[in-house]
Structure 1
Amino acid sequence: MTGSTSSNVALWATFTAISFAVGYQFGLSKASSTKNSSAVILPLKKVKKGKLENDTDEEESENENESDEDEDIESTSLNDIPGEVRMALVIRQDLAMTKGKIAAQCCHAALSCFRHIATDPARASYNAVMAQRWLNAGQAKITLKCPDKFTMDELYAKAISLGVNATVIHDAGRTQIAAGSATVLGLGPAPKVVLDQITGDLKLY
């Protein structure tokens, strides 16, 4: 009887150990498969106008090669002007761009302005003091309306004359508008009082 009891205990212990090992391995594989499956979940899509589309604007996600071949503008003469420092993004209205297109072009302009003024000490436009003032104050940006290219050219010329960092974004022409079209004028970062001399007559976008 004692031998039988010992045998039963040993059998029960063996069964328990095997069950634990199998359960543990099953748990690991389940967690692994859940983790792997969550990593390949595709973004949700929505139906719009009878077709499936990504839940992002087509123009924002499209990889276009905008160019901004502008001269480097030396802006260190503005460093002693006190007050708020901001960036202005001037958007042409005659091109009738969609909101997504405008958002993408404004992003190009903002990044281009920042590259000109803050990323390469070898450039004449490099102005770490102005860039740091802008960064420290929250990177203020303002979007403004511009009626046409002629007005945009005038604004660009005025910015140069005042020593304000400026860039014009030209579209690659793959979607809505003709290749080479000037879409957005980026100005700054520069003191607000100086930018107002350039864009003071423009309306908010």
Structure 2
Amino acid sequence: MALVATYIVVITASLSLGYFTASADDSDSESEAGDVSALTTLDDCKLVLAVRTDLGMSTGKIAAQCSHATLACYKTLLSKNPTLLRRWARTGYLKSVVRCSDEDELLLLQAQAQSLNLCARSIQDAGRTQIAAGSTTVLGIAGPSILVEQVTEELSAF
């Protein structure tokens, strides 16, 4: 239980730090899926970060990768759908972190999110520390809560 609390604290701190730095680290690349420009909502919005558990990333590595995915989604919404971004801001930048078993599951989630025109940004590691270069580590999915939950409802919380 203490380990879960530590994960939550580290991930929350990293997400906050990532938001305030306002730029993604050049050591990772981002890939985008979905055309979020036409996505509108009257409902709450949220961000779900799907973290691959098969890579054996440390707590700090997970936090850094989640920060990159958060920034990638934020920047995408800022440029392609500022109305949705404002809606997400008004609802307190709701976000959660879930477990994803492997790359195949992550790619399936990305395809599902893209089919709903959600903001779906995946992060590939540069390979400078723990993970092989090009490994997809985290997928951020942002948009109306009801749609995001359609894609992520079966995943367990981190």
Pair in the same fold by TM > 0.5:
yes
**Alpha-carbon separation, structure 2, partners of 1:128 and 1:64:** 24
Distance 2:130 2:38 in 1: 39
How many residue pairs get matched?
Answer: 136
Alignment-mate amino acid for residue 78 of structure 1? L
**Structure 2 residues without counterparts, runs of 5 or longer:** 1-9, 15-24
Structure 1 unpaired stretches of 5+: 1-55, 121-125
Q: Does 1:168 align with 2:132?
A: no
Q: TM-score, normalised by structure 1?
A: 0.63
* 1:119-198 to 2 correspondences below 5 Å: 120=79, 126-188=80-142, 190-198=143-151
Q: How does 1:10-89 map to 2 (within 5 A)?
A: 65-71=27-33, 73-79=34-40, 81-89=41-49
From 84, 94, 100, the equivalent of 2:54 is 94
- 1:170-192 Cα shifts (integer Å, max 9, x gaps): 0010111100000000111x111
- Structure 1 or 2, whichever has the larger Rg, is 1
Q: Identity, % of aligned pairs?
A: 38
Give TM-score, length-normalised by structure 2. 0.81
Rounded to whole Å, the distance in 2 between the matches of 1:98 and 1:165 is 26
Partner of 1:202: 155
- For the residue of structure 1 that corresponds to 2:31, the secondary structure is coil
- CA displacement at 1:74 relative to structure 2: 2.0
Deviation at 1:78, TM superposition (A): 3.3
Alpha-carbon contact 1:64-1:174 (below 8 Å) kept: no
Question: Which whole-Å CA distance do the structure 2 matches of 1:164 and 1:70 have between them?
Answer: 10
Partner of residue 5, structure 2 = none
CA distance in 2, matches of 1:78, 1:70: 15
> Following TM superposition, where does structure 1 have runs of at least 4 consecutive aligned residues deviating by more than 6 angstroms?
none
- Contact kept, 8 Å, 1:170 with 1:180, in 2: the verdict is yes
Distance 1:159 1:69 in 2: 13
Cα distance, 1:152 vs structure 2: 0.2
CA contact (8 A) 2:47 2:96 kept: yes
2:97 aligns to what SS in structure 1? strand
- The question of whether the paired residues in 1 share the 8 Å contact of 2:122 and 2:138 is answered with yes
Question: Cα distance, 1:64 vs. partner?
Answer: 6.0
Larger RCO, structures 1/2 (Cα 8 Å, 6+ apart): 2
- Structure 2 CA distance for aligned equivalents of residues 181 and 145 of structure 1: 16
**1:29-59 per-position Cα deviation (integer Å, ceiling 9, x unaligned):** xxxxxxxxxxxxxxxxxxxxxxxxxxx9xxx
